[in-house]
Amino acid sequence: MDGCIFCKIANGEIPSNTIYEDDDFRVILDNGPATKGHALVLPKEHYADLFEIPDEKAAGAIKVAKKVAGLMKEKLACDGLNLVQNNGPVAGQTVMHFHLHVIPRYENDGQKILWNPTSPSAEELVQIKDTIIG
């Protein structure tokens, strides 16, 4: 897609701190990392979000994230890891090119990836389930 910064980065038109690359994906260090090693899995083809990316490419992104996560555990000695994938501005997506955050976590790193749990009734949960599958 013309003008997409992540397309340009993923395809090597803009320099990046690449930590992994194959025919379909480039993994770069995030320029505004949550923690040391925070990386982005970028498909080389443009897809705006999870709703546009084909299933096989989405599966490929997870496989690449798993490979990179193993490297992070081995090389950075992280204590845990978050995978984060946002879709749409309301969900925190700021670049409209599918990307998967791979965020190494360290004891006392000060980061939080949380939400405020709600308390739906059993009936509400059934109604939501029925709406989704119905």
Write out the catalytic residue numbers. Answer: 99
**CA neighbours closer than 13 Å in the CB half-sphere of residue 86:** 12
SS3 26: strand
Q: Which residues contact residue 13 at a Cβ distance below 8 angstroms, ignoring those fewer than 6 apart? A: 7
- What is the length of the chain? 134
- Partnered with residue 101 across adjacent β-strands are 40, 84
Contact 43, 63 (CB under 8 A): no
